Structure 1
Amino acid sequence: MTVVKRAMTEQETAEYINMSRSFLRQSRMEGNRENRTPAPPFIKIGRAVRYLKEDLDIWLNSFIKQSHLLEGVNHG
């Protein structure tokens, strides 16, 4: 039987979103400051920090997808 985890540890979250654990720690400490990548939502259960998969999916989907960095730039 496969168990689908809803709450992920910091290490599991870092792997899931393909970012470093230090990014997660720093973003939690700094909150959502201007000109910074917003922190993914997290929960605390006692002293344990956990990230919910559905929150991470929403967070990932909130970023604008760029099909090409130079798309729409006039080269004239």
Structure 2
Amino acid sequence: MTTTEAATYCGLAKNTLEKMRLYGRKGDNSPRFIKLGTAVRYHPDDLDVWIDRNRAITTSEYDSTN
């Protein structure tokens, strides 16, 4: 998937994924991506893993360092 397609799939802004790629996130909590020359692509399975890793029942159990 392109960055735009991946952002739509995750319900995020394209900018959010771009910033995550550029700056990373604490604890390396960002989805994996593939760089092919200048093209950036995301695999749906990697996005699903990232989404599952961020599951929480309540906001008090959410840990942004995961």
TM-score range, shorter-chain basis?
Answer: 0.7 to 0.9
The match for 1:26 is: 19
Q: Could you state the TM-score of these two structures normalised by the residue count of structure 1?
A: 0.69
Shift of residue 31, structure 1, vs aligned partner: 1.6
- The aligned amino acid for 2:38 is R
Count, aligned residues:
60
Q: Which has more strand, going by share of residues?
A: 1
Percent of pairs identical after alignment? 35
Specify every segment of 5 or more residues in structure 2 that has no aligned partner in the other structure, as ranges.
61-66
Give me the CA root mean square deviation. Answer: 1.9
1:45 equivalenced with 2:27 (yes/no):
no
More helix by share: 2
Runs ≥4 in structure 1, deviation > 4 angstroms?
none
The residue type paired with residue 22 of structure 1 is N
Among residues 48, 62, 65, which one is paired with 2:53 in the alignment? 62
Q: Which has the larger radius of gyration?
A: 1
Q: Distance in 2 between matches of 1:69 and 1:43?
A: 31
Q: Does 1:13 align with 2:6?
A: yes
Unmatched 5+ residue regions in structure 1? 1-7, 71-76
